[in-house]
């Protein structure tokens, strides 16, 4: 999960983040949406 946040926060696209993290695009979108919903994110 932290790898997804780091990659996405670093400017990677959703598809690129999924490929680099070895997860699905859906998983990246779920994790990123959850991260953005946190206060102070």
| pLDDT tens track for 2-11 | 999 999 999 9
Q: How many domains does the chain have?
A: 1
- Of the pLDDT bands very low, low, confident and very high (cuts 50, 70, 90), residue 41 is low
Give yes or no for a contact between 32 and 4, defined as CB atoms under 8 angstroms apart: yes
- What's the token pair of residue 14? 């959703």
Please give the residue range of the domain that contains residue 18: 2-37
- Residues 2-11, buried b or exposed e (16+ Cβ, 10 A)? eebbebbeee
Q: Residue 12: helix, strand or coil by DSSP? A: coil
Residue 21: is it exposed, middle or buried by C-beta count within 10 angstroms (0-12/13-18/19+)? buried
| pLDDT tens track for 7-29 | 999 999 999 999 999 999 999 99
Q: Tell whether the model's pLDDT for residue 40 goes beyond 90.
A: no
């Amino acid at each position: 999960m932290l790898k997804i946040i780091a990659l996405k926060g670093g400017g990677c696209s959703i598809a690129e983040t999924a490929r680099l993290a070895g997860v699905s695009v859906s998983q990246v979108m779920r994790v990123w949406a959850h991260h953005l919903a946190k206060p102070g994110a």
